[in-house]
Structure 1
């Protein structure tokens, strides 16, 4: 990476503060902005908490972070602007219209959307801004998950696409190039295909939700950090893969809408961990333990990777 970047993060909540942390830890200037004063006020303390959990000296990172409630001022000197706002297309349209007008003409404009095609997000922009718009789909928690999907829309300039990929690699992420702008990109298409089948198995009475999680965590889930699905298909052989698919594929679910089971649970007030009940029951202590165990696991995996270099 050439020189020190000025990075503006639009949205300092669930994802934004962690994205900012990555660039600040790599030595770049980061400005966080958010329309909610309480969210913005908590952004840097949350970064400090993340760093303490990783055993990192926070002082050397937060010195590169600042907050600015005014979006236009936040992006006025940026080389890279990353939008990390809620998944509402009209909101993203408004944000990027304002950002394109206020940011320098050379600034790369990036959206952290997890499913919305980048081409649709860029619809209100002029040709120059559309050419500088790229998708950067980070995964939660962004300071711990290595992957970032770099998505090229039909208008994204190739130099913008390549530069964004290079910046992300230089700050220690594991970027991948998404050459065609499809809904959900790569990771969420794979993840939610699994979720669709899992929920259908529960809804059909094949098993309960706990059994689904037990199966995944104690079988193919154990292999996946070192054996991806394409590697696995090649390992067992493509003839066997094809034979299994001939038997299995006709019986898999191809629902084009969310499962009615989700509608029923939500109508009953069972929205997930926060409500104490979702597909599985949750006490506050159990939910906190899952979050703690996930963070600990990810930190250990990152430490193990670093030690193996």
Structure 2
């Protein structure tokens, strides 16, 4: 059904290259666009590196055409995936640029982590063609893609995008309401808000927040989701716990003072060597290597 599907990926950064890798590894033709020569020059090496890390066949790169002409990238595409940085104005500009060249039958998607799809396509004429696709990093290792329905989505577009993602080995989930952060990031940042609040309020150290997560409920999460867990312990006990704890959980509508203070001091984490934790090159590389090894092992075990 999808063997002849042509895919355009707009943006050759880590996400764009990773998304291109997924489709190319299933022998689908990919046009990978980026306006910057430096990004285009390193795109195939990034994809090759990603394929090697999974033990895949590097001949898949033959299905990727890296281009500098955005019209050439999208004109014949059946599926268009925007993967530029997470800035609303930039994403809108990309879609304004391609609008005259897109086939009326093409599926048009934005890979965004938190921006509502309706905001990205506001004022643009892609009626019934639009859907959000939130891929997780790295795209070739993390199975989930959130398929976000918006006011400019059709049932057919949702169905076809879900089917295509399944064809290339992903685990798509239909997000039925176009809310900021969709499903995964809403839950993830609810956790981050509480974690940072615990540090801000002096309840525990930043290091111990991670120790607690990694050595308790974090171990269960790959096998036991929060709704399963609630059912497993009993909804009556869940209700009793919530009657006690919810009133004391952090509910701030703006970022924590300790987070704002760190950013003001240019303590940005890995990129500056200091955040809530201290970072050097060895520690950074070890964390990344350990994470990639873990994700690869998990995905291989799942088949």
TM class by shorter chain equals over 0.9
Match of 1:167 among 144, 164, 169: 164
Rounded to whole Å, the distance in 2 between the matches of 1:95 and 1:214 is 42
- Counterpart-to-counterpart distance in 1, 2:278 and 2:73: 42
- Point out the more displaced range, 236-245 or 99-108: 99-108
* Matched position secondary structure for 1:148: strand
Superposition deviation, residue 108 in structure 1: 0.6
Residue-by-residue CA offset, 1:154-202 (whole Å, 9 max, x unaligned): 2211101111111001110000000111111000000000000000000
Superposed displacement of residue 3, structure 1: 3.0
**After TM superposition, which residue ranges in structure 1, 4 or more long, deviate above 2 angstroms?**
none
- The equivalent residue for 1:236 is 233
Q: Could you tell me how far apart the structure 1 residues matched to 2:43 and 2:273 are?
A: 26
Q: Following the alignment from structure 1 to structure 2, what is the Cα–Cα distance between the partners of residues 69 and 97? A: 17
Q: Specify the alignment match of 1:150 in structure 2.
A: 147
Q: Does 1:253 align with 2:250?
A: yes
Post-superposition offset of 1:57: 2.2
1:87 Cα deviation from its structure 2 partner: 1.4
Matched, 1:284 2:281: yes
SS at match of 1:290: helix
Matched residues in 1 for 2:220 and 2:259: separation? 29
* Structure 2 match to 1:34: 34
Contact 2:132 2:149 in 1 (8 A): yes
Q: Contact (CA 8 Å) 2:25, 2:57: kept in 1 or not?
A: no
Give the superposition deviation at 1:122: 1.1
By how many angstroms is 1:92 displaced? 1.2
Counterpart contact for 1:82–1:109, Cα < 8 Å: yes
1:289 partner SS? helix
Q: Are 1:216 and 2:233 counterparts?
A: no
1:78-93 pair list within 5 angstroms: 78-93=77-92
Structure 1 gap ranges (5+): none
Matched, 1:300 2:297: yes
Q: How does 1:200-211 map to 2 (within 5 A)?
A: 200-211=197-208
- 2: distance between equivalents of 1:130 and 1:270? 43
- Report the Cα offset of residue 254 of structure 1: 0.4
1:93·1:124 contact (CA, 8 Å) conserved in 2?
no
Q: How many residues align?
A: 303
TM-score, normalised with respect to structure 1:
0.96
RMSD: 0.9
Partner of 2:176: 179
